[in-house]
Amino acid sequence: MSVIGSSIKRREDPALITGQGKYTDDLTLPGMTYATIVRSPHAHARIAGIDTSAAEGHPAVVAVYTGQDIKDSGVGGVVPVGWLLEDLKTPDHPILAIDTVRYVGDGVAVVITEDRYSGPDAAELVEVDYEPEDAVTDVLAAVADGAPQVHAEAPNNVAFNWRLGDGDIDAGFANAAHTAEVDLRNNRLIPHAIEPRACLASFDQTTGELTLRMTTQNPHVHRLLMSLASLNLPEHKMRIIAPEVGGGFGSKIHHYPDEAIASWCSMQLGRPVKWTATRSETNLTDAHGRDHASHAAIALDSGGKILALKVHTHANMGSYLSTFAPSIPTYLYGTLMSGQYDIPAIEVKTTGVFTHTTPVDAYRGAGRPEATFVVERLMDLAAGACGLDPVEIRRRNFVAADAFPYQTQVALAYDSGNYDAAMDKALELAGYDDLRADQARRREAGDSKLMGIGFSSFIEACGLAPSAVVGSLGAQAGLYESGKVRVHPTGSVTVYTGSSAHGQGHHTTFAQIVADRLQIDVDAVEVIHGDTGQVQFGMGTYGSRSAAVGGSAISVSLDKVVAKAKRIAAHLLEAPAEDIEFEGGEFRVKGVPAKSVAWSDVTVQAYLAHNYPEDLEPGLEETSFYDPSNFTYPFGTHICVVEIDSETGDVELARYVCVDDVGNVINPMIVEGQVHGGLAQGIGQALWENAVYDEGGQLITGTLLDYAVPRAHKLPSFETDRTVTPCPHNPLGVKGVGEAGSIASPAAVVNAVVDALSPHGVTHLDMPLTPEKIWRAIHRSS
Ligand code: MCN
């Protein structure tokens, strides 16, 4: 049986579930100190002065620093942005605010103490003279006349205006038999990795080297961004290590001030400095997700075929541009606006808006859940306008299975797909006809439980790459991945990957790729990642790219290893290299099965080099930097069935059925786990989660008492299945899976709830679909 495709248990889990995993906060170093960051309680204020003397008098305090101290030290001290758009306003973001604070949580000073628990006490002694000013937090209010201004260099709070699309939009709407339009809000979310952000910076004043252990999804990118912009430290003098990382969901991609502050402090003091966020602090300062206000419209002919689609979105950027923020509501959003459909004319406009809130950036799905929400809500509204079943309107517009590669009107060219096949399988799994019959019966009988069925036929673009394309779009980095395969003399293997897992299971799946190819035991393969001192280079784990790009880099290196091993085997077998086959762990001469050498005979010879080809270097180790030719495009159809208590407005998820297509699958159990996790987060967005600011800019859902993350008992037992349409352009044929569930599910849930409420005349409701909102919608109509 092939190792690829088998549900091997996650090799990383025994240590983690028995409490043996070493996370950043578990680590201690001799002479370690603790950083506590003094944060602004105001959303917008001028800093008239900071008095640190009382704090400096606290017996446990080692030092207190302000933004001015950092500036005076001559380092950049700013947080860089890694993505540029034409017309983008990029105001300076100092790692500690100097004269103005722009969101609740903005850092103004740092207190270094000998012990952790004195930190917050001493921080309270720092006296900051704030002069509060008006704040604005809502994305539409921020662009209204007279709104408080976040940055002088961004008039009307506009960070950028962006447009994408092709085809004749005006003709599409002019010739339409049916149209539908809607105003949508995509609610603001707070990422909730189990482990809050943390770092431990250690500067060696004798060598001038900084070692920074931190919660990161992309250590090399953090090193690149931090070394010059924030710290004036060349990369070769900086080592970043990601110990165990307890989840990230995007929030640990970005460059935040805090890790740079701890590093700078360690450089001043010559002592290690640890900083660990509290849960409330992480909720205030980790980049939030989503927060869009969109107006969207669709035009159709009399047969329900789409003629045109247009959308204008205002995307909240928060107070400063976070690392990849400008790319999320543009390149990862507008480009997805064709969904699974053949649409002749599309126009997407996005206005990025500054507000006095926590910066907003990538969060699981990053742009694609927002796009799917727009497209799939429009499809249901279009079905209503045309008098068609939601399945029928989708089928009439699907890109046909024989039309791939398919060029959309919004830049992307889909690689492969079979959208009808996924829909067919989902309908069969759900028993769609019976569900509709049941719904009709219950409506007829006046059942107080309102039943609804919702669809989401989603597409996503992931496996983020290729470098030239993202470079031309404004990314200030390449998006390839590296993979080194080091074969040891005994035949076991260590793999060094630039991907940096934080829950995804790379220790297992990447080992499967190697074991499958070299026909060795999975346990003979070790996977190393997350350390700039050990791994050649890497772009990290996000955008569901690790299997498609990181896995492919390993696969290409394996090709090179096998090719070299064949040359060594050919020498041993006294045959030409072209005649050597590698099968069942043995090298054989084609047509002469008796003549063979084992894998370990070859690997040992690679290092002994006693009986060895003259023109070959000893050793067996290969590195590849794999840069794909396209994104990958997973897809699927999700069906949600809800039952709503018409007296309380409470939504029960009766069933959740999904068919995903992620190309070839390395580990079905891990893929299923990824789908489950994504679904929980997408359903959480649809029903419960919401980051709410009051008018003064206070985050009033900043703790787990107020911010409703999904609980296991609120979720149904998911019914999952797959179709398999391999990716045609990477060596493994894989597409990404890490975000699929979170991309598809918000639209499926909302479509189901709106379907349930349709007898009450409801055509749209914004997320989260709280019982109160639903109850009001029911009672408004009766
Ligand atoms: N895989 C597979 N077959 C495929 C595709 C993937 O077996 N056809 C496996 C991969 O080898 C990997 C896992 O599935 O072990 C996820 O792979 P992939 O889709 O490539 O995604 P990444 O590894 O790049 O992970 C990133 C993705 C993102 S963007 C978010 S956000 C997210 C997610 O993964 N955050 C997570 N899943 C998470 N899971 C956990 N536990 N914690 C997070 O923070």
The CA distance from 497 to 218, in Å, is 11
- Expressed in angstroms and rounded, the spacing between residue 213 Cα and the centre of ligand 1 is 22
362 lines ligand 1 (CB under 6 A): no
Q: Do 135 and 147 meet the contact criterion of CB atoms below 8 Å apart?
A: no
- Expressed in angstroms and rounded, the spacing between residue 642 Cα and the centre of ligand 1 is 28
For the chain, list residues with pLDDT below 50. Answer: none
557 lines ligand 1 (CB under 6 A): no
Tokens standing for residue 515: 């074991």
Q: Do 346 and 166 meet the contact criterion of CB atoms below 8 Å apart?
A: yes
Mutate to test the pocket of ligand 1, among 480, 674, 729 (most ligand atoms within 8 A of CB): 674
The CA distance from 527 to 11, in Å, is 11
- Expressed in angstroms and rounded, the spacing between residue 665 Cα and the centre of ligand 1 is 12
- Expressed in angstroms and rounded, the spacing between residue 177 Cα and the centre of ligand 1 is 43
- Expressed in angstroms and rounded, the spacing between residue 740 Cα and the centre of ligand 1 is 10
Q: Residue 155, CB half-sphere, CA atoms under 13 Å: how many? A: 1
Question: Is pTM, for the whole model, over 0.85?
Answer: yes
The CA distance from 480 to 629, in Å, is 10
Question: What are the CA-CA distances from residue 298 to residues 169, 198, 636, 638 (Å)?
Answer: 10, 46, 22, 22
Q: Do 315 and 329 meet the contact criterion of CB atoms below 8 Å apart?
A: yes
Q: Which residue is it, tokens 């580990």?
A: 667
Please give the share of the chain, as a percent, with pLDDT higher than 70: 100
pLDDT value of residue 474: 84
555 lines ligand 1 (CB under 6 A): no
Q: From the centroid of its chain, how far is CA 360? A: 13
Question: What are the CA-CA distances from residue 214 to residues 76, 196, 269 (Å)?
Answer: 21, 11, 19
The CA distance from 325 to 73, in Å, is 29
Q: Do 598 and 586 meet the contact criterion of CB atoms below 8 Å apart?
A: yes
Q: Residue 327, CB half-sphere, CA atoms under 13 Å: how many? A: 23
Residue bearing the CA closest to ligand 1, atom 36: 249
96 lines ligand 1 (CB under 6 A): no
736 lines ligand 1 (CB under 6 A): yes
The CA distance from 755 to 760, in Å, is 10
Name every residue whose Cβ is closer than 8 Å to that of residue 192 and which is 6 or more positions away in sequence: 249, 704, 707, 709
498 lines ligand 1 (CB under 6 A): no
363 lines ligand 1 (CB under 6 A): no
Residue bearing the CA closest to ligand 1, atom 2: 666
The CA distance from 386 to 119, in Å, is 63
502 lines ligand 1 (CB under 6 A): yes
pLDDT tens digits along 151-194: 999 999 999 999 999 999 999 999 999 999 999 999 999 999 99
pLDDT value of residue 534: 98
Name every residue whose Cβ is closer than 8 Å to that of residue 717 and which is 6 or more positions away in sequence: none
251 lines ligand 1 (CB under 6 A): no
- Expressed in angstroms and rounded, the spacing between residue 674 Cα and the centre of ligand 1 is 6
Residue bearing the CA closest to ligand 1, atom 5: 736
Burial-class residue 59 by CB neighbours within 10 Å (0-12, 13-18, 19+): exposed
- Expressed in angstroms and rounded, the spacing between residue 739 Cα and the centre of ligand 1 is 7
Residue bearing the CA closest to ligand 1, atom 30: 249
**Relative to the CA of 501, which ligand 1 atom is closest?**
23
